[in-house]
């Protein structure tokens, strides 16, 4: 049963320790908690090594915390088996990766259709949804091309399409603009915002790019595996962008580029 409250994601006391007997131990996350409401667009920023990626992996359920819980739509993911988790990821989560992670063997249309195909939806419904979404993403003219044949921006937009087509509870984006030039980055962020605002898609995005983060409604900053600060967007993106830069300056250690 789907949780009807507005809280989509609750992470409680997440701790992740890497390393094992006899080896140096790294505490990547330290008792970190956060909550995301339905329809929110949350950014996560922090210097390299701050634990951003670890956090995202835990939220994405592709890694398990040493302690703490991740609850999505009221379901505690730490109690699910591998098989249940796979099914849960497929049905309730959407992913956008830095390197797009499209399957080279599928056209953009097929890549977008993948979650619905895995869900055994009827072909007519799939076609309808893919085409409507492609229109919104502005890639309807390249739908039947393969990833290698289109630009990075178009690939990332198709990836966004794949992430939202099955109406997941939560979309997780990992440095989605990391491999895009500034013009494509901007176009892509406009699209993410549009998905967030018009379709009420809930998005959690890890980024080191303050410009991309300025599209969020809220930005969390983490440092040394723990929450450092949090800012909400007020009026205007430009002002928010400036705020983000200010916090990053305080945070120090660079914004975690490559």
Pick between residue 174 and residue 209 the one whose CB is nearest to other proteins.
174
Looking up tokens 């660079």 gives 254
172 binds other proteins (CB under 8 A): no
Judged by CB under 8 A, the stretch of 13-21, 30-38, 67-75, 109-117 that binds other proteins is 109-117
190 binds other proteins (CB under 8 A): no
115 binds other proteins (CB under 8 A): yes
Stretch 193-252 residues interacting with other proteins (CB under 8 A): none
146 binds other proteins (CB under 8 A): yes
101 binds other proteins (CB under 8 A): yes
132 binds other proteins (CB under 8 A): no
90 binds other proteins (CB under 8 A): yes
Least Å distance, CB 62 to other proteins, is 6
Among 10, 17, 80, 87, binds other proteins (CB under 8 A): 87
Token duo for residue 8: 């989509």
HEC per residue, the chain: CCCCCCEEEEEEEEEEEECCCCCCCEEEEEEEEEEEECCCEEEEECCCCCCHHHHHHHHCCCCCCCEEEEEECCEEHHHCCHHHHHHHHHHHEEEECCCCCCCCCCCHHHHHHHHHHHCCCCHHHHHHHHHHHHHHHCCHHHCCCCHHHCCHHHHHHHHHHHHHCCCCCEEEEECCCCCCCHHHHHHHHHHHHHHHHHCCCCEEEECCCHHHHCCCCEEEEEECCEEEEEEECCCCHHHHHHHHHHHHHHHCCCCCCC
93 binds other proteins (CB under 8 A): yes
Least Å distance, CB 112 to other proteins, is 12
Judged by CB under 8 A, the stretch of 33-41, 44-52, 120-128, 223-231 that binds other proteins is 120-128
Residues that bind other proteins (CB under 8 A): 60, 62, 82-83, 85-91, 93, 95, 101, 103-106, 110, 113-115, 117-118, 120, 123, 126-127, 145-146, 148-149
């Amino acid at each position: 049963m789907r949780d009807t409250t507005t809280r989509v994601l609750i992470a409680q006391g997440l701790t992740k320790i890497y390393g094992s007997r006899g080896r140096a131990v790294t505490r990547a996350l330290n008792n970190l908690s956060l909550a995301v409401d339905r329809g929110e667009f949350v950014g996560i920023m922090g210097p390299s090594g701050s634990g951003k990626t670890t956090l995202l992996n835990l939220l994405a359920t592709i890694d398990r915390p040493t302690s703490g819980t991740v609850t999505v739509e009221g379901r505690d993911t730490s109690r699910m088996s591998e098989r249940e988790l796979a099914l849960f990821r497929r049905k309730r989560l959407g992913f956008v990766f830095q390197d797009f992670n499209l399957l080279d063997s599928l056209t953009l249309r097929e890549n977008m259709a993948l979650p619905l195909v895995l869900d055994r939806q009827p072909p007519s419904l799939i076609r309808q949804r893919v085409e409507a979404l492609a229109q919104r993403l502005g890639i309807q003219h390249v739908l039947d091309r393969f990833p290698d044949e289109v630009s990075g921006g178009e690939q990332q937009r198709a990836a966004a399409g794949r992430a939202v087509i099955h109406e997941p509870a939560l979309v997780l984006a990992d440095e989605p603009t990391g491999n895009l030039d500034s013009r494509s980055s901007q176009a892509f962020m406009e699209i993410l915002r549009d998905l967030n605002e018009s379709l009420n898609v809930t998005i959690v995005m890890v980024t080191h790019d303050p410009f991309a983060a300025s599209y969020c409604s809220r930005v969390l900053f983490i440092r040394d595996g723990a929450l450092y600060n949090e800012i909400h967007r007020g009026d205007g993106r430009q002002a928010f962008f400036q705020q983000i830069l200010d916090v990053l300056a305080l945070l120090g250690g660079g914004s975690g580029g490559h």
